[in-house]
């Protein structure tokens, strides 16, 4: 075992003092996908003009070959040429024509953004009206621009769309449901960055559901496909509400002659106008009716549920028919199997794809007939009605069995977000076995977050050594950065500094200093440099990096909160009160912006609990620590090592607050849980046993306590900090000191 050179410094090492008011502060370093994310438990012009006319002559076959939407005569359409709004994925509303567009309160803001930004992203709930609002603003602002709509099923088509846009400028690249383009290995961040940095005349307009945006933004503590989250740092975002305002309803009332709008207004207390018009509520009711014992479409209902489960599990493209055939059997069994009298497959498929009011259907066929996707209103509702965030294991098994390596990456991160560790591990392992190197990233995170740091280091080291020569430089640097992180977590700080420096220099050369990847790498480097050097120097560097992050993202972006975590971590250099203040401010802002059930919020609160206690308020510290344990259980599961570490810490804080009996009860349960989860000989189990012995002694049973301390001495390595404490307890008498130790979490 490698001992941390600087473990006596700062709050990373959790060592309780003999009195309640001097419990050392502690920090956690959670590392979201992409590594280094937060300090959390804690990654020729003339020729172009001359050839423009010629490129137009070649445009038709190129567009078709590249999977782009084409108009009459095979040409790429202009924005004003689009009369069938389904082309831009606007949901129908029944009838032969789309209803009149009702300007939204944000319509003017969207038009202004299109005029001044090259990448505009609309965020909102499913069926909030994002696509219609964005397209109508585009039609108002740039009616003559060419409109390119790439196929999300093909990364090659995506790159070709951006290439074509350069030759037919002025042009707009339309990316509805942006998450469909952000699968593992996506080059979209690079493509959009080229648009922003390139010549005027190309614009990217995209939409994304709020639930998906939260995942990529980090609000759900959700790791995402490597490198994809960087795309959001490039976007000008506008949020569109699902529920319509009074002013919007007033404008809608001017169109009551359209019965569809009139009915939507009548239901506006429950549904948004766009939501109602998109037929989402009717489709949901249809699916629910089919699931009932009196329903006549049990197989069809199972088929829809299967497609929804696939989407919720991270299968963002259309679901192939063989996958649906296998997957729906699980749901059919839930409905009673043969007792539900399921209809034939063909009848079920016909029912599920039958449009409601001649428009939207429960399942939407892919253009080549090879698969289907579920109407996007349904997955979140069906998922919520499940009553648990867990997707059944048979669903994961079926999806992973059918998925290719790239899709397995997406499945793995989704399983990780849902704290379904076995499914995540299986998906990442299959991805890596199939040649997707970034599967190692997921495997390393699962191992590292479970305090199996050597496993994380081994898998990343192996992959980096065996990476093919044509591996993308960004991928190699990302893996190196993650290796730096878990190497540091394992205690090899010098090696961590070397690796983090290598990644930082590489990203700096590729992207410059003001870039998400470079900033993440710099943050990682500061972490380990600070631990082997000066806290004051680390604080100065962290503040400098925070300024750069605010320049790139603004003050309230999750990445900036992560940079503030780094600053707070080193704020002890300015004194204990400064440290407490920094953590309190971060806890307040993280709770407001990310919510209480987020890793960064949880870890900031953990640090705050430590500093509040150290600064003389053990009762407030105890209250905060109880909230931390509860939050960790919700985030990671009650049996996750992170939750157990916080629980062992809670036992210590209960005892220091004068509640020895409660401390003993908590320590007893924690010792049993640690032994069951991480094993009898794990360092965390020994720490829990130490707490058990300590509060056993102070509850009046020094003999039993001495036996526990003695047994710990027999299994702990020489030089281990816990061994020193046990020696003191046996020499001076059990309970002679309430000092304690927890494994450092850098």
Q: How confident is the model at residue 225 (pLDDT cuts 50, 70, 90)?
A: low
| 199-204 mean pLDDT | 88
Tell me whether residue 269 is in a domain. no
Q: With 70 as the cut, is the pLDDT of residue 42 above it? A: no
Domains: count for the chain: 2
Pair 14, 94 in one domain? no
pLDDT at 50 over 70: no
Return the ∠ at Cα 260 (arms to 257 and 262), rounded to 5°.
55
Q: Does residue 97 share a domain with residue 13?
A: no
Q: Which of 157-171, 309-323, 661-675 is predicted with the least confidence, judged by mean pLDDT?
A: 157-171
**Mean per-residue pLDDT, 253-280:** 72
Is the separation of the CB atoms in 170 and 144 below 8 Å? yes
Integer angstrom CA distances of residue 116 from 172, 204, 514: 14, 12, 21
Backbone dihedral angles phi then psi of residue 318, each to the nearest 5 degrees: -60, 150
Confidence band of 509 (pLDDT split at 50, 70, 90) = very high
Confidence band of 155 (pLDDT split at 50, 70, 90): low
pLDDT value at position 431? Answer: 96
**Residue, of 295 and 651, whose pLDDT is higher:** 651
Please report whether residue 325 resides in a domain: no
Query: Tens of pLDDT along 319-374?
Result: 999 999 999 998 898 888 888 888 999 999 999 998 765 457 889 888 778 899 89
pLDDT at position 386 is: 76
Average pLDDT over residues 629-654: 93
Same structural domain, 591 and 692: yes
Q: Where are the alpha helices (DSSP H) in 99-206?
A: 107-116, 130-141, 155-167, 188-197
Closest CA to 217 of 560, 539, 681, 462: 560
Residue 444 is inside which H or E element, if any? helix 439-449
| One domain for residues 692 and 614 | yes
Residue 85: inside a domain = yes
pLDDT of residue 180: 85
- State the Cα–Cα distance between residues 246 and 254, nearest whole angstrom: 13
* Proportion of the chain above pLDDT 70, given as a percent: 84
pLDDT of residue 305: 93
- Mean pLDDT of the region 461-479: 94
Q: Which residue has the higher pLDDT, 83 or 455?
A: 455
Check pLDDT > 60 for residue 734.
Answer: yes
CATH of the domain at 208: 3.40.50.300
pLDDT bin (cut points 50, 70, 90) of residue 270 is low
Render 249-295 in DSSP notation, one character per residue.
HHHHHTTTTSHHHHHHHHTTTTS-HHHHHTTHHHHHHHHHHHHSTT-
User: Are 69 and 23 in the same domain?
Assistant: no
Is pLDDT at 281 greater than 80 in this prediction?
A: no
Residue 213 and residue 94 in one domain = yes
pTM check: above 0.75: no
pLDDT in tens, 99-142: 788 899 999 999 999 999 999 999 988 778 898 899 999 999 99
The whole-number pLDDT of residue 39 equals 30
The confidence band for 156, taking pLDDT boundaries of 50, 70 and 90, is low
Most confident of 7-21, 25-39, 283-297, 473-487: 473-487
pLDDT score of 338: 83
Distance CA 214, CA 211 (A): 5
Average pLDDT, the chain: 83
> Could you tell me which residues are beta bridge partners of residue 740?
16
Residues 405 and 437 sit within 8 Å (Cβ to Cβ):
no
Answer yes or no: are the C-beta atoms of 15 and 721 closer than 8 Å: yes
More confident residue, 36 or 519: 519
What is the mean pLDDT of the segment spanning 6-15?
28
Q: Are residues 80 and 222 in the same domain?
A: yes
Determine the average pLDDT of the residues in 389-398: 91
DSSP character string of 142-168 = -TTSEEE---TT-HHHHHHHHHHHHHS
- CA 120 vs. chain centroid, Å, equals 21
Q: Are residues 69 and 156 in the same domain?
A: yes
Q: What is the pLDDT of residue 48?
A: 30
User: 99 and 3 share a domain?
Assistant: no
Determine, yes or no, domain membership for 500: no
Contact between 678 and 451 under an 8 Å Cβ cutoff? The reply is yes
Give the domain-ending residue among 217, 240, 263: 240
Q: Say if residue 204's pLDDT is above 70.
A: yes
pLDDT for the residue numbered 271? 60
Torsion angle of the four alpha carbons 695, 696, 697, 701, in this order, in degrees rounded to the nearest 10 = 160
Asked, for residue 503, whether it belongs to a domain, the answer is: no
| Residue whose C-alpha is closest to residue 723's, from 733, 711, 738, 734 | 711
Residue 26's pLDDT is what? 31
19-36 pLDDT, tens digit per residue, is 222 222 233 333 233 333
- The number of CA neighbours under 13 Å toward the Cβ of 571 is 25
pLDDT band at 279 (very low <50, low <70, confident <90, very high): confident
Q: What is the CATH number of the domain that holds 654?
A: 1.25.40.10
Q: What pLDDT is stored for residue 616 in this prediction?
A: 92
Alpha carbon 142 to its chain's center:
34
- The residue behind tokens 């609309």 is 122
Q: Are residues 89 and 187 in the same domain?
A: yes
Of 208, 240, 272, which closes a domain?
240
In a domain, 296, yes or no: no
d(CA 62, CA 39): 47
For residue 354, what pLDDT is reported?
87
Is residue 303 in a domain?
Answer: no
222 conformational bin, left if phi > 0, alpha if psi -120 to 50, beta if neither: beta
Listed residues 177, 210, 240: the one ending a domain? 240
Under 8 Å between Cβ of 184 and 315? no
Q: Is the pLDDT of residue 528 over 90?
A: yes
Q: Mean pLDDT across the stretch 613-631?
A: 95
| Parent domain of 610 | 1-30+535-543+553-746
Nearest CA to 62 out of 145, 146, 157 is that of 157
pLDDT value of residue 394 = 92
Q: Are residues 607 and 735 in the same domain?
A: yes
Same domain, 17 and 162: no
Residue 637: inside a domain? yes
């Amino acid at each position: 075992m490698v001992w941390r050179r600087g473990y006596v410094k700062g709050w990373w090492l959790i060592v309780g003092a003999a009195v309640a008011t001097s419990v050392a502060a502690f920090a956690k370093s959670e590392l979201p996908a992409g590594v280094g994310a937060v300090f959390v438990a804690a990654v020729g012009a003339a020729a172009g003009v001359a050839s423009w006319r010629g490129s137009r002559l070649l445009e038709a076959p190129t567009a078709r070959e590249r999977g782009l939407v084409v108009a009459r005569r095979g040409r790429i359409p202009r924005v004003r040429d689009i009369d069938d709004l389904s082309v831009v994925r606007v949901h129908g509303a029944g009838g032969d024509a789309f209803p009149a567009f009702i300007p939204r309160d944000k319509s003017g803001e969207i038009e202004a953004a299109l005029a001044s930004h090259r990448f505009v992203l609309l965020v909102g709930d499913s069926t909030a009206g994002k696509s219609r609002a964005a397209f109508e603003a585009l039609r108002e602002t740039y009616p003559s621009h060419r409109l390119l709509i790439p196929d999300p099923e093909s990364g090659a088509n995506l790159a070709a769309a951006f290439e074509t846009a350069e030759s037919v400028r002025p042009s707009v690249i339309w990316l509805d449901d942006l998450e469909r383009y952000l699968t593992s290995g996506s080059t979209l961040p690079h493509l959009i960055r080229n648009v922003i940095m390139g010549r005027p005349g190309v614009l990217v307009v995209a939409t994304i559901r709020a639930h998906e945006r939260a995942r990529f933004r980090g609000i759900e503590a959700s790791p995402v496909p490597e490198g994809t989250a960087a795309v959001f740092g490039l976007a000008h975002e506008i949020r569109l509400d699902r529920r319509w305002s009074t002013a919007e309803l007033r404008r809608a009332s001017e169109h009551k002659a359209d019965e569809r709008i009139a009915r939507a207004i009548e239901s506006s207390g429950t549904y948004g106008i766009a939501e109602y018009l998109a037929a989402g509520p009717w489709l949901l009711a249809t699916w629910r009716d089919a699931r009932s014992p009196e329903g006549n479409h049990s197989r069809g209902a199972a088929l829809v549920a299967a497609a929804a489960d696939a989407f919720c599990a991270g299968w963002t493209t259309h679901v192939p028919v063989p996958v649906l055939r296998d997957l729906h059997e699980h749901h059919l069994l839930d409905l009673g199997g043969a007792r539900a009298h399921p209809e034939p497959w063909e009848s079920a498929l016909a029912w599920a794809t039958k449009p409601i009011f001649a428009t939207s259907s429960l399942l939407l066929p892919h253009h080549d007939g090879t698969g289907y996707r579920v109407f996007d209103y349904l997955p979140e509702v069906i998922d919520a009605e499940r009553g648990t965030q867990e997707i059944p294991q048979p669903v994961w098994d079926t999806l992973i069995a059918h998925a290719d390596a790239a899709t397995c990456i997406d499945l793995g991160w989704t399983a990780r977000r849902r704290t379904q560790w076995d499914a995540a591990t299986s998906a990442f392992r299959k991805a890596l076995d199939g040649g997707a190197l970034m599967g190692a990233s997921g495997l390393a995170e699962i191992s590292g977050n479970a305090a199996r740091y050597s496993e994380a280091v081994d898998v990343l080291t192996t992959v980096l050594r065996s990476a093919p020569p044509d591996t993308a430089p960004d991928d190699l640097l990302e893996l190196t950065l993650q290796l730096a992180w878990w190497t540091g977590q394992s205690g090899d700080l010098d090696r961590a500094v070397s690796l983090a420096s290598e990644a930082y220099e590489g990203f700096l050369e590729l992207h410059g200093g003001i870039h998400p990847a470079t900033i993440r790498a710099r943050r990682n480097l500061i972490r380990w440099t600070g631990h082997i050097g000066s806290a004051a120097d680390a604080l100065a560097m962290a503040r400098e990096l925070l300024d750069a992050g605010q320049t790139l993202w603004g003050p309230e972006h999750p990445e900036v909160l992560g940079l503030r975590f780094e600053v707070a971590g080193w704020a002890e250099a300015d004194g204990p009160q400064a440290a407490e203040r920094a953590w309190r401010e971060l806890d307040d802002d993280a709770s407001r912006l990310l919510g209480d059930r987020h890793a960064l919020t949880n870890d900031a609160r953990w640090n705050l609990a430590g500093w509040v206690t150290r600064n003389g308020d053990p009762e407030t510290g105890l209250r905060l620590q109880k909230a931390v344990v509860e939050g960790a259980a919700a985030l990671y599961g009650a049996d996750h090592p992170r939750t157990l570490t916080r629980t062992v810490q809670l036992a210590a804080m209960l005892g220091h607050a004068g509640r020895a009996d409660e401390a003993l009860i908590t320590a007893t349960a924690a010792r049993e849980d640690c032994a069951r989860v991480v094993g009898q000989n794990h360092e965390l189990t020994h720490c829990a046993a130490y707490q058990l012995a300590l509060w056993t002694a102070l509850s009046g049973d020094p003999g039993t306590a001495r036996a526990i301390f003695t047994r710990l001495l027999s299994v702990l390595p020489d030089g281990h900090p816990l061994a020193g404490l046990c020696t003191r307890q046996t020499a001076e008498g059990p309970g002679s000191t309430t000092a304690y130790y927890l494994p450092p979490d850098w």
